[in-house]
Chain A
Amino acid sequence: MAASAVSSLARSAGVTARPLATRDAPWLRYTLTAVALGFLALFLVLPLVAVFAEAFRRGIGAYFAALNDPDGLHALKLTLLTAGLAVPANLVFGVAAAWCIAKFTFPGKSLLITLIDLPFAVSPVISGLIYVLLFGAQGWYGLYLNAENPWLPGLQAWLYEQDFKIIFAVPGIVLATTFVTFPFIARELIPLMQTQGNDEEYAAITLGANGWQTFWKVTLPNIKWGLFYGVILCNARAMGEFGAVSVVSGHIRGETNTLPLHVEILYNEYQFVGAFAAASILALLALVTLVLKSLVEWAHARRHAASAAS
């Protein structure tokens, strides 16, 4: 899936006045608009409304009582921690990947771009499974911990002493989340930096700037909106990931439950107000994501229009 498909940053916004011959008849216009809005209302708006309606079903008091739950608070903290580790890691990677792909020519470049997109093609459940295979008790990490003659015996002893677990523990959750959100920032930055070209960097280096100065003072200001856009999308997915985290977490309450997993547990225990109250927090996060994303797109479109007009 090439980068342009989901991203709409590169898209220009704005409907211009159309010549008469390309305009549809009013009846067709109204019918299609009604069908489109009806479909979106049924499939997008109604589920969103249902989350809040169910959360407030027993009143505001019950809603806040449900939110004030130590396991829920712990789940929220773990969700923030996970996103706080996965997003910066993918940010550094995304910038490095975009730098080498957009600024240089080398063989195997299109293969590299495809490989970066790979996690998007993998089912979330499989994203979790592969880390269980690597780090689970039956996996390579488990074999290493139980090996008779391991390499680095000191490391094995230390890991044993710390009882350092990856699967059914926080490190596994962070790893699986990192895998799932891996392409978001890179795929935003690569096409952006490719269209911007290298002219400004050449100018900076000709004027005597070194590589880091060029990056911080020339490239970064140019890509900051794309970067922010990628971070928003990456963060939303990191906080909301369910399938992959579900496989590696072990669902230990107050320990390895993220907010989406907490929603699942409450729901399966028929604590519907609690489940939807926690879900409403995640829905709010999604709405904030959409608002920020739209603001970036509109700012970008305005700047695009301004630079096209001048």
Chain B
Amino acid sequence: MSRSHRSVIPGFGLSLGLTLTYLSLIVLLPLSAAFIKTLGMSWDDFWTAVASPRVVASYRISFLASLAAASVNCVFGLIVAWVLVRYPFPGRRIVDALVDLPFALPTAVAGIALTALYAPNGWIGSLAAPYGVKIAFTEVGIFIALTFIGLPFVVRTLQPIIEELEPEFEEASASLGANRWQTLRRVIFPQLVPALLTGFAMAFARALGEYGSVVFISGNMPMRTEITPLLIITKLEQYDYAGATAIAVVMLGASFLMLLVINLLQKWSRRHHAV
């Protein structure tokens, strides 16, 4: 391989060898252990483990809460990204830095902070409690934690695209008689769609696997507010390694599917902006 592209820069063998060895030991070998473990299960055992009512209920809540959180993040992420790029205001840089807080704040800290806020005696929870509305320890609590976790994905995917928008399109649209709303909707928004979908997919994928920020606020009631990652932990605590691994393999399948979707979206997005 290096014969055809002979490079004068040394270190190919060393760096590639180190990369592949480390990648295999830390990532590929451990991940394959999950698949090898499930190969040892009979089909019936596997199906019982991944399709029992309690497990299916957890897929449902994980999927729906992630979907709702990623959708809300699309709306508000778009507004945040647009404001941060287009409208100068005092403290803009600080706000911009703060958007990454969910990446930097440990998920357990986010989890207990959100629970403290949204519990019936918390700052926000106590506002809703008189109306009989519970936020923490319900599906809504899960949704709030997943929204917190997913926000930076949408904002950070959109920001560079909005920065690179060519003003010529907007000017042309305006000079052809479009009002600002038509320009925003028909000219600018279509250019943002690929990035918006990429951000959505990333936030959704992250939300599916999220654990730390959710366990505190969700209440963890089987069939109602039990997310799939928590169910894996529950099975592990009961020493049901095969059952835990079977669910993990289903989740890994979903994650790899999302990874593929994200890669295709990004390719589409790049092609879109190359034109």
A residues within 8 Å of B by Cβ?
1-2, 4-6, 8, 10-13, 15, 18-19, 21-22, 24-25, 28-29, 32-33, 35-37, 39-40, 43-48, 50-51, 54, 89, 92-93, 96-97, 99-100, 103-107, 112, 114-119, 121-126, 129-134, 136, 138-140, 175, 178-179, 182, 198, 201-202, 205-206, 210-211, 214-215, 233, 236-237, 239-243, 246-247, 259-261, 263-264, 267, 272, 275-276, 279, 282-283, 285-287, 289-291, 293-294, 298
Contact = CB atoms under 8 A, between A and B. Distances in A.
B262 A47 contact: no
A1 B76 contact: no
B49 interface: no
A233 B101 CA distance: 11
Contact of A123 (B83, B208, B239): B208
B156 interface: yes
Contacts of B104: 236, 240, 285-287, 289-290, 293
A269 to B, nearest CB: 13
Interface in B6-31: 7-12, 14-16, 18-20, 22-23, 26-31
A263 B10 contact: no
Contact of A124 (B85, B116, B209): B209
- Interface centre among A93, A121, A140, by most chain B C-beta atoms within 10 angstroms, is A121
B7 A47 contact: no
A6 B205 CA distance: 14
Contact of A236 (B83, B84, B103): B103
A260 B79 contact: no
Given A106-B2, A115-B27, A246-B233, A1 B202 contact: yes
A275 to B, nearest CB: 6
Nearest to B20: A112
Contacts of A116: 23
Given A121-B258, A182-B27, A22 B108 contact: no
Contacts of B67: none
15 contacts: A6-B103, A10-B160, A21-B174, A44-B99, A44-B102, A46-B117, A47-B105, A54-B113, A93-B18, A121-B255, A122-B252, A179-B26, A240-B108, A260-B109, A276-B116
B271 interface: no
Contacts of A35: 76, 79
Given A116-B23, A240-B105, A47 B148 contact: yes
B178 to A, nearest CB: 10
A125 B226 CA distance: 14
A112 B19 contact: yes
Interface in B184-208: 184, 198, 202, 205, 208
Contact of B232 (A104, A126, A239): A126
B30 A130 contact: yes
Nearest to B112: A267
Nearest to A57: B116
B256 A121 contact: yes
A97 B251 CA distance: 28
Contacts of B160: 4, 8, 10-11
B202 A32 contact: no
Interface of B: 1-2, 5, 7-12, 14-16, 18-20, 22-23, 26-31, 33-34, 37, 76, 79-80, 82-89, 92-93, 95-110, 112-114, 116-117, 122-124, 144, 147-148, 151-153, 156-157, 159-160, 163, 167, 170-171, 174-175, 180, 184, 198, 202, 205, 208-212, 216, 229-230, 232-233, 236, 239, 241, 244-245, 248, 251-252, 255-256, 258-259, 262-263, 266
Contacts of A276: 112, 116
A48 B94 CA distance: 15
Nearest to B22: A93
B209 A126 contact: yes
Interface of B is mostly: helix
B244 A129 contact: yes
A247 B106 contact: no
A93 B16 CA distance: 10
B171 A118 contact: no
A48 B108 contact: no
A139 to B, nearest CB: 7
Contacts of A28: 180
- Interface centre among A5, A29, A116, A179, by most chain B C-beta atoms within 10 angstroms, is A5
A8 B8 CA distance: 32
Contacts of A182: 26-27
Contacts of A289: 104
Contacts of A242: 106-108, 211-212
B45 to A, nearest CB: 16
Given A124-B209, A282-B109, A100 B80 contact: no
A255 B44 CA distance: 40
Contacts of B110: 47
A40 B95 contact: yes
B35 to A, nearest CB: 10
A215 B15 CA distance: 12
A290 B98 contact: yes
Nearest to A51: B113
B84 A36 contact: yes
